[in-house]
């Protein structure tokens, strides 16, 4: 009799407005930044010498190459998006108090921590809610490299979008 192999794949949980409450906290996976990526981003978007050239950066006030603050912001967005994983996505409404207390340098490894600080229904879109959050990005030494507050519009769960239970997911993904 043939040996049966059962593989159960659980889809990564998609999050909705209804899943969040004030005080919830999330922590991303870490993500490293290479010198090559840092310089490439700067060439496209922030061509200033302390982001572009190791040699010239060493003579700047930073005493070495640093990432553009907008690169730090973009990496932080990626970590936030992956961690929260909103169904249909989160629509950014605005950002306040965006700060870069310490520079990001080649080889740094960044992590984003998110705290939900407010939740409310959307007045203009009943199928959505508005969340207010604080995102804090730290490097491998726990130093703050970015802090910000943001508001985003995220989808509510409708009756057709009930989350799968593990059993339902297993049934859908059953393989022999």
67/43 Cα distance (integer angstroms): 11
Least separation, in Å, of the C-beta of 155 and a second copy?
Answer: 9
What values do phi and psi take at 141, rounded to 5?
-100, 5
What is the gyration radius of the CA atoms in the chain, in angstroms?
20
Residue 63 binds to a second copy (criterion: CB under 8 A): no
Residue 54 binds to a second copy (criterion: CB under 8 A): no
Identified binder of a second copy from the candidate list 125, 144, 172, 174, rule CB under 8 A? 125
Site for a second copy in 14-43 (CB under 8 A): 41
Q: How many CA atoms lie within 13 A of 82 on its CB side?
A: 14
Binding region for a second copy (CB under 8 A) out of 8-16, 90-98, 108-116, 137-145: 90-98
Q: Give the containing element (helix H, strand E) for 172.
A: helix 166-172
Site for a second copy in 93-122 (CB under 8 A): 93-100
CA torsion 19→132→150→72, rounded to 10°?
-50
Question: Where on the chain is the footprint of a second copy (CB under 8 A)?
Answer: 41, 44-50, 60-61, 68-71, 73-75, 77-78, 81-82, 86, 88-100, 125
């Amino acid at each position: 009799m043939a040996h049966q192999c059962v593989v159960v794949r659980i889809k990564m949980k998609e999050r909705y407005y209804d899943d969040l409450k004030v005080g919830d906290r999330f922590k991303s996976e870490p993500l490293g930044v290479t010198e090559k990526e840092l310089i490439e981003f700067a060439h496209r978007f922030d061509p200033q010498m302390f982001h572009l050239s190791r040699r010239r950066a060493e003579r700047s006030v930073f005493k070495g190459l640093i990432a553009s603050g907008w690169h730090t912001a973009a990496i932080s967005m990626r970590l936030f998006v992956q961690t929260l994983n909103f169904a249909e996505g989160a629509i950014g409404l605005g950002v306040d108090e965006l700060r870069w207390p310490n520079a990001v340098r080649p080889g740094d490894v960044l992590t984003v921590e998110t705290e939900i600080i407010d939740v409310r229904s959307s007045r203009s879109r009943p199928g959505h809610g508005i969340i207010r959050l604080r995102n804090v990005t730290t490097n491998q030494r726990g130093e703050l490299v970015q802090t910000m507050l943001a508001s985003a519009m995220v989808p509510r769960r409708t009756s057709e979008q009930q989350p799968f239970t593990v059993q339902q997911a297993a049934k859908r993904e059953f393989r022999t």
